[in-house]
Amino acid sequence: MKEIKEPIWTKDFIIVSIINFVSILMFFLLMVTISSYAVDTYHVSTSIAGLVSSIFIIGSLIGRLGAGRLIGNIGPQKMLLIGLVLFFVTTTLYLMEWGVVYLLIIRLLQGIAVGTIGTATGTIVAMILPISRKGEGIGYFSLSAVLATAIGPFVGMFMLKLENGFDVIFYMNTGLSLMLLIAYFFVKISLPPVNKQNGQQTEKLSFIEKFIEPKALPISFIALLIGFAYSGVMTFITFYAREINLVEAASYFFLAYAGIVIISRPFTGKLMDVRRPNVIVYPCLAVFAVGMLLFSQASAGWMLLVAAVLIGFGYGNFNSIAQTIAVKVTEPHRFGLATSTYFILYDLGLGVGPFILGMIEPHTTYRTIFVSMIPLILICIPLYYLLVGRKQRLA
């Protein structure tokens, strides 16, 4: 008799995934365009432009810290609504040009909103997915983020070519953020009630444990390093493409990236549920390093696109597997904290990277910067083994 699998693609799962997709799409659309906007509009340095881009992620860290702590008290659904309201308000504020300090403040506040939304959606999905298909389900859910990381930069780089492209971006984002807020009210997310006993237990935790899940820290630290290595690709690909005269090929980079992830993600998620994560993580890190090497040495369009495929397979699949590890090693009542812990460290890598690399860039070339990321990626292989891989006992 054929075994009946518990469903993944429920109404709640689909709508939460769409909310996650659109919010992250807007995030990455701005990540690859806002530095150019800062330079063109306010004539700031490369370092300040990197800060304008990365301060968004610093805000996301703040949002995730707060959301991870509050979810246990008010629930992830209410937390999601708070994030969506703040997201809509801050998105409309981009329409005003009141100086680079104003822009930094808006980026910070919107980062808080995105961090709140991401933690809430990740927690909801972790709660509603069946245990037997959690790796597969989180893999599909994180695919929404991967698609957003590809489509967002592609749309952003395309819009930069338009007349008044920045205005088009800001007005489009305002409309999308309003749609997300409306979509929230069309779904009733059925979640288990907050366990009062668990709430009482949190009073006995240390101050740090009320905001961070210690069990999720090892894999989250690896994600921090990997996020740092990738941050330069995400933020400076526009400038790098101009430097190596591959602007046209670069506009398709993130589509190639997304394509390989769409193809591979369903298989890697299922494989993790059956064979545990190590069988996926080690190859992913090695392929990511090879992809970064090819990216740093690209001299033709095909090299850039092959690099996108390798980076997509390595970096893209590592992300979903690492997020699943962070949740699976944690008790259900701390899924919110595990999710926020993972993304706090991961976002920290993405956020600090552009600022640090932006300060280094005037003294070197983009090629050199990307080459220097390869040893960092390779170091993560033995580091993963020591911190996570050798003691994997996931259920």
Q: Residue 339's pLDDT is what?
A: 77
Q: Is the pLDDT of residue 250 over 70?
A: yes
Residues 312-326: pLDDT tens digits? Answer: 999 988 987 888 888
Q: Is the pLDDT of residue 173 over 70?
A: yes
Of 22-36, 220-234, 297-311, 330-344, the range with the lowest mean pLDDT is: 330-344
Find the DSSP H helices in 7-99: 11-31, 34-42, 46-74, 76-92
Give me the residue spans of the domains in the chain. 7-188, 210-394
Model confidence band, residue 5 (pLDDT cutoffs 50, 70, 90): low
Share of the chain above pLDDT 70, in %: 90
Q: Is the pLDDT of residue 199 over 60?
A: no
Strongest mean pLDDT among 97-101, 205-209, 306-310: 306-310
Q: Residue 195's pLDDT is what?
A: 52
Q: Is the pLDDT of residue 384 over 90?
A: yes
User: Are 238 and 363 contacting, i.e. CB atoms less than 8 angstroms apart?
Assistant: no
Q: Is the pLDDT of residue 2 over 80?
A: no
Interval 111-118 mean pLDDT: 90
Q: Is the pLDDT of residue 131 over 80?
A: no
**Spatial CB neighbours of 286, under 8 Å, sequence gap ≥ 6:** 314, 381
Using DSSP's 3-state secondary structure scheme, residue 256 falls into helix
Strongest mean pLDDT among 3-7, 267-271, 303-307: 303-307
Q: Is the pLDDT of residue 56 over 90?
A: no
Q: Residue 1's pLDDT is what?
A: 42
Interval 247-264 mean pLDDT: 84
Residues 347-381: pLDDT tens digits? Answer: 788 778 877 888 887 788 889 999 999 999 999 99
Q: Is the pLDDT of residue 221 over 50?
A: yes
Q: Is the pLDDT of residue 300 over 80?
A: yes
Residues written for the chain: 395
Q: Is the pLDDT of residue 192 over 60?
A: no
Helices (runs of H) and strands (runs of E) counted in the chain: 16, 0
Global pTM? Answer: 0.73
Model confidence band, residue 229 (pLDDT cutoffs 50, 70, 90): very high
Interval 292-321 mean pLDDT: 91
Interval 209-226 mean pLDDT: 87
Domains 7-188 and 210-394 share a fold: yes
Residues 89-108: pLDDT tens digits? Answer: 999 998 888 888 898 999 99
Whole-angstrom distance, CA of residue 294 vs CA of residue 308? 9
Which token pair is 83?
């994030």
CATH code: domain 7-188 is: 1.20.1250.20
The single-letter DSSP state of residue 6 is P
Q: Residue 394's pLDDT is what?
A: 45
Q: Residue 205's pLDDT is what?
A: 62
CATH superfamily label, 210-394: MFS general substrate transporter like domains (1.20.1250.20)
> Which is higher by pLDDT, 47 or 294?
294
How many C-beta atoms lie closer than 10 Å to residue 81's C-beta?
A: 17
Using left for φ > 0, alpha for ψ between -120 and 50, and beta otherwise, residue 32 falls in alpha
Interval 212-216 mean pLDDT: 84
Residues 62-89: pLDDT tens digits? Answer: 888 788 778 777 888 888 999 999 999 9
User: Are 63 and 119 contacting, i.e. CB atoms less than 8 angstroms apart?
Assistant: yes
Q: Residue 190's pLDDT is what?
A: 64
- Mean pLDDT score across all residues of the chain: 82
